[in-house]
Structure 1
Amino acid sequence: MVEKFTEFQAKRMEIFREVVKREWNGKLLTNDDLEELVAEIKKKYDYNDEDDLFIRDHIRVAMGLNPSQSKSFTYELEDIKNLDHIEKPIVTKIEGRCESCGKELEERDCYNSCKYEAHMYKRSKGPIIVNEKCLNCGSCVSSCSFGAIADKIEFLPITNLLKDEETTVYAAVAPSIVGQFGDDITMGQIRTALKYMGFQDMIEVALFADMLTIKEAFEFDHLVKKEDDFFLTSCCCPVWIRLVENNYPEVFEHMSPSVSPMVLSGRMLKKLYPDSKVVFIGPCIAKKSEAKEPELAGAIDFVLTYSELDEIFKALDINLAELPSDEKDQASFAGRVYARTGGVSFSVKTVVNRIAPRRLVKLRAKKVDGVKECKQILEDLLAAKEREANFVEGMGCDGGCVGGPRTNIDTDKATKIVNEYGEDSLIMTPFDNMNIIKILQELGSDRIEDLMDEGNEVGRLLIREKQ
């Protein structure tokens, strides 16, 4: 298994931290300020003048901009002030670095890191990223020891929103966030920290996973009637969805049309609070790309990862352990365990058993995670070899979201903490979550069945079509 953070990745996060510290404290105002940062990085890491372009491009990527190979800063700071979204591609190549690997390229971790065959390598030029094939899984970013590939970081435009008293910004946090910032750090302390930064509130995306659990349970009950019928989820994993859509169109016909809990959180919050902005915080590079898909764009304004948020807390001198805890119970056990492999299957099954206890064809789940297993189950489904399961859950990362490329802790430890946090919920199933009823009432509905009705405004929020 490739380590989530190579030596350079740690350096890159320090560069990002310095960018954040300067921007937040009003010390990133001119191109001279950026040049001063270049000089400090060169001195700290013993880079030489030949590395100037490389350092400048990593600063640009840390600001959410494309690398440009320009020898000087020009309009970067002006661009950030007017940036209301980060443009694709998310995963980008920093030119001039792969050549240092020379003939040893094929021996490097990065050479075989892309398990989706999304890009190919040339010995002298390094990777060619084919954007329409790239799933933005982050494997190549994490495995490169020399900083030749990087994903854009979206925080600098967010600072403009947080400092604007006229703009309301919500933080929507993925279920896997629990435990990511320390063993004794509570979700309430993370909420307090985000409010300190200027967010209106922190919302558990697991609440919207509860909504989608209900929808997918009804879909399963409607679509799986015979022994040979089958149904695919997980709507929460963009790597899995794009893998199926791009490479297995016949199987994709059996995929749930639901949006991810992330997208639903943005859509619902913007319906409840018009003109608000929503920032998703999670473990995944691919979520940055998902938020920009044409049929989903507009729900989520920006995406941050746990590793990025950890650096932001450090840059702003926020000590979570010293903060009071602002606790809220927003999601059920079922919604919270979406964070790990098998969580979606478990959640949907509990609702299916409740709405259709006398079904002749019982829900038989198959849970797969990681690239190899995801591809194998799809090949089996395509060849009609897999019919033991009628509900197939796929997660692109080993262990599920808790194993994402931008998590801060070990996957096994994170899984244990997620299960414990789920058990701590006072709400055991999605049907017991009165927060769902309150939201529906705010939207002019008092029927939970409206979540399944794609003919009304509420139901359309849950499906993959442009709003």
Structure 2
Amino acid sequence: MRGWFIIETRFKAFQEKRMKIFSEVVKKYWNNQLNNSEDLNKLAENIREKYNFLEKDMSFIKDHIRIAMGLDPRGEDDFQDEINIIKNSKEVKKPIIAKIEGVCEYCDDEDCKCKDACKYEAHIYRRSKGPIIENNKCLNCGECVTKCDFGALADKIEFLPLIDFLKDEKVPVYATVAPSIIGQFGEDVTMGQIRTALKLLGFKDMVEVALFADVLTIKEAFEFTKLVKKEEDFFLTSCCCPVWFNLVKKNYPKLFQHMPPSISPMIASGRFLKKLYDDIKVVFVSPCIAKKAEAKEANLKGDIDFVLTFRELREIFDTLNINLKDLPKDEKDQASFGGRVYARTGGVSFSVKTVVNRLEPRRLIKLKAKKVDGVKKCKQILDELSLGNIKEYNFVEGMGCNGGCVGGPRTNINSEKAAKLVNEFGEDSLIMTPFDNINVMKILKQFGIDRIEEIIEDNEVSRLLNRE
């Protein structure tokens, strides 16, 4: 097999090396040791020597340094104005997933796992001298990125431009964390310790996005009772997974009419916090590459400023010597059991059903849920619905990753263990359902909402919770 020894020693298992490159970049930039192109060139040379790359691999290394900085690759180009771009940047720009030149020439077809990575989406991934991504079809699920062991594809990391905001005392930065975060930094690490660690990084505070899942659960329950009036009616939930949402929107326009205009809990967290506090930045932490793309959609842009993954945040903690297990526990009970189990398959359905049953306990048309996960199963259920094959369900929940968000591409633990910990964390909540969460009403009252029914009336809150 052509070039196998070279692949084995230089590019094999690059996902771990990629995080080490990111660690080196963070360490240098955090300590004010990356100030110009000369500093970047020295860093690239150190990485080349440390990981046994060859001189001809320098463009590959430099591009992965750029990706770690949140910048586009430039191929053969030397470092130029990258530091100035970071210093003056307020965002990481699209595309989220970038192609790195050079490595695919060493990869034999029979050994390449990524060529079929998108076969259940739209055959958007093709091999020639390297991958070709058709961005108008890409769901940004991250499947192709995680399947490539050799670093030919990578998602940009959004931490470097954030560092300057974290160090600026005039700019409050809030972290909003996905429900699937529990257990990702150690089974014995509490949410309160994660909050403390984030404050050590410079964050003002940490908020559970599960709180905003509670808000959206109530909205979707009202939407369900309004839209599902007959046995043949059905409802596609929209308020969680961007892969599911975009799969429906891009490929099933008729079914898209059965999806309410709700935003995701991530977007809601940014919108509400930015209304409550002036001139802040909001950073979402999750296991999801698709969330990086969602935050940059034209009608959502600006609600969330940066997205970090669990794997990236773990590397940041390790690089900056923050040991979570040794930290004090700054605990807050913000969300219900229902909001917290959004993290795994079936969580959205369970949560919405508990509220529907509270709103209309004698409802004749009961909520009957169909829960699917993984792009393949999502497409199968949508194909069934397109053919009119609706049998025993009227509420469809789709999650792009197997197991739900706990199976996301940038998790630190396996999905089975993560789902177990999510359920346990949910059970620890003193709030059983979103309907019982007094934190929800506290937030809504700040927007002039006195009755929960007003959440779907024409007012500022309903506008905040809807896509344009």
TM-score range with shorter-chain normalisation? over 0.9
Aligned residue for 1:54? 60
Distance across 2 between alignment mates of 1:247 and 1:121: 20
Aligned residue for 1:145? 149
For the residue of structure 1 that corresponds to 2:370, the secondary structure is: strand
Determine whether 1:308 maps to 2:348.
no
Cα displacement string for residues 356-378 of structure 1 (whole angstroms, at most 9, x for unaligned residues): 01111111000000111101100
Distance across 2 between alignment mates of 1:226 and 1:82: 55
Determine whether 1:287 maps to 2:291.
yes
Distance across 2 between alignment mates of 1:144 and 1:105: 13
**Which sits farther off after the overlay, 435-444 or 184-193?**
435-444
Aligned residue for 2:338? 334
Aligned residue for 1:121? 126
Distance across 2 between alignment mates of 1:438 and 1:118: 47
State the shift of 1:119 in Å.
2.0
For the residue of structure 2 that corresponds to 1:367, the secondary structure is: strand
Aligned residue for 2:88? 82
Asked if 2 retains the 8 angstrom alpha-carbon contact of 1:381 and 1:387, the reply is no
Determine whether 1:382 maps to 2:405.
no
Determine whether 1:463 maps to 2:453.
no
For the residue of structure 2 that corresponds to 1:89, the secondary structure is: coil
Distance across 1 between alignment mates of 2:76 and 2:205: 39
Aligned letter for 1:164? D
Aligned residue for 1:236? 240
Asked if 1 retains the 8 angstrom alpha-carbon contact of 2:22 and 2:68, the reply is yes
Asked if 2 retains the 8 angstrom alpha-carbon contact of 1:20 and 1:312, the reply is yes
Distance across 2 between alignment mates of 1:374 and 1:277: 34
Cα displacement string for residues 263-283 of structure 1 (whole angstroms, at most 9, x for unaligned residues): 000000000002111000001
Distance across 2 between alignment mates of 1:22 and 1:303: 21
Residue 36 of structure 2: which of 30, 40, 49 is its match?
Answer: 30
For the residue of structure 1 that corresponds to 2:141, the secondary structure is: coil
Aligned residue for 1:190? 194
Distance across 2 between alignment mates of 1:106 and 1:69: 26
Asked if 2 retains the 8 angstrom alpha-carbon contact of 1:272 and 1:443, the reply is no
5 Å-filtered alignment, 1:59-458, equals: 59-101=65-107, 104-114=108-118, 115-117=120-122, 119-123=124-128, 125-453=129-457, 455-458=458-461
State the shift of 1:441 in Å.
1.8
Distance across 2 between alignment mates of 1:219 and 1:199: 35
Determine whether 1:41 maps to 2:47.
yes
Cα displacement string for residues 99-122 of structure 1 (whole angstroms, at most 9, x for unaligned residues): 111xx2254111101131252424
Asked if 2 retains the 8 angstrom alpha-carbon contact of 1:118 and 1:133, the reply is no
TM-score calculated relative to the size of structure 1: 0.96
What residue ranges of structure 1 are gaps of 5+ in the alignment?
none
Distance across 1 between alignment mates of 2:125 and 2:153: 14
Cα displacement string for residues 366-424 of structure 1 (whole angstroms, at most 9, x for unaligned residues): 00001111011000000011231100000000000000000000100000000000000
Asked if 1 retains the 8 angstrom alpha-carbon contact of 2:238 and 2:263, the reply is no
Asked if 2 retains the 8 angstrom alpha-carbon contact of 1:118 and 1:135, the reply is no
State the shift of 1:234 in Å.
4.2
State the shift of 1:445 in Å.
2.5
TM-score calculated relative to the size of structure 2: 0.96
For the residue of structure 2 that corresponds to 1:18, the secondary structure is: helix
The alignment-based identity, stated in percent, is 65
Distance across 1 between alignment mates of 2:399 and 2:106: 35
Aligned letter for 1:182? G
Asked if 2 retains the 8 angstrom alpha-carbon contact of 1:367 and 1:393, the reply is yes
For the residue of structure 1 that corresponds to 2:115, the secondary structure is: helix
Aligned letter for 1:294? A
Aligned letter for 1:91? I
RMSD in angstroms over aligned alpha carbons? 1.2
Aligned letter for 1:55? I
Cα displacement string for residues 5-50 of structure 1 (whole angstroms, at most 9, x for unaligned residues): 9710000000001101111111111212111111111111111111
Aligned letter for 2:73? P
State the shift of 1:243 in Å.
0.5
Distance across 2 between alignment mates of 1:297 and 1:450: 26
Aligned letter for 2:122? E
Distance across 1 between alignment mates of 2:385 and 2:422: 30
Aligned letter for 2:463? R
Aligned length: 457
State the shift of 1:206 in Å.
0.1
Asked if 1 retains the 8 angstrom alpha-carbon contact of 2:238 and 2:262, the reply is no
Aligned letter for 1:461? L
